[in-house]
Amino acid sequence: MKKSLPKKLEAVLLRLGSATQLNITQAVKLPYLVDVVAKQVLGRTITEGVHQAWDHGVVTRQVWHHLSRDGESLLFHLEPVPFSEEKKLVVNENSEDDVLTGDERAVVDIVAQEFSSMSATDLGRMTKIMNPEISSWGTDRQASIEAEAFDRMSDDYQAMAEQVATLTLDRLRRDYEPVTNIEDAIA
């Protein structure tokens, strides 16, 4: 017997897939962003999903297992992407979301608008930057949905983290003068 997704998680996928064309990798990553935003805006999560640290970023475990095993529900199905090994999530005609509240729909719509155009690679990188406390990816460790993760979604934080990641000790020694006196550095 096929195991179905939690109703709210299925409704989130339906709404995301109705807003834009999603590939499988986007479909397994965007529900995490929905819960991070919902936690800050609504004070609670929406998806009922478990978001884990996998090798290529945060993945909503139930979505991955559902799409990789079953690949469909009454609301959507998967179709191959021409000339690719990837598959895309296709919303079935006449599929309706009657599970999400108006506020929940608004959160999903914001995430779809802001993040659904990002590539799977960029989404993976972003979710890793949102969780710097995870030192070893691929461990299935639970990802953060707290305020810090939300703050790390900002473009400014993402850009700063990308820049810091390029720094090396040799570059720091070459480009910056060490501080020998804190009073001189502050003045």
What are the boundaries of each domain within the chain?
Answer: 7-154
d(CA 128, CA 134): 8
Q: Is the pLDDT of residue 2 over 60?
A: no
More reliable by pLDDT, 88 or 102: 102
Report, as an integer, the average pLDDT of 66-75: 72
Residue 89 three-state SS: strand
Q: Is the pLDDT of residue 70 over 70?
A: no
Identify whether the C-beta of residue 96 lies closer than 8 Å to the C-beta of residue 107: no
Report, as an integer, the average pLDDT of 143-155: 93
Report, as an integer, the average pLDDT of 37-58: 95
pLDDT of res. 182? 80
Report, as an integer, the average pLDDT of 72-91: 76
pLDDT tier at 187 (50, 70, 90 boundaries)?
low
pLDDT tier at 1 (50, 70, 90 boundaries)?
very low
Q: Is the pLDDT of residue 167 over 80?
A: no
pLDDT of res. 44? 97
Residue 112 CB neighbours (<10 A): 21
pLDDT tier at 78 (50, 70, 90 boundaries)?
confident
Report, as an integer, the average pLDDT of 1-13: 81
Residue among 158, 127, 164, 157 at smallest CA distance from 144: 127
CA atoms within 13 A on the CB side of 82: 0
pLDDT of res. 165? 79
d(CA 152, CA 168): 22
Q: Is the pLDDT of residue 170 over 80?
A: no
pLDDT of res. 162? 85
pLDDT tier at 123 (50, 70, 90 boundaries)?
very high
Average pLDDT of every residue of the chain: 87
* The pair of three-digit structure tokens given for residue 103, joined into one six-digit string: 């506020």
pLDDT of res. 17? 85
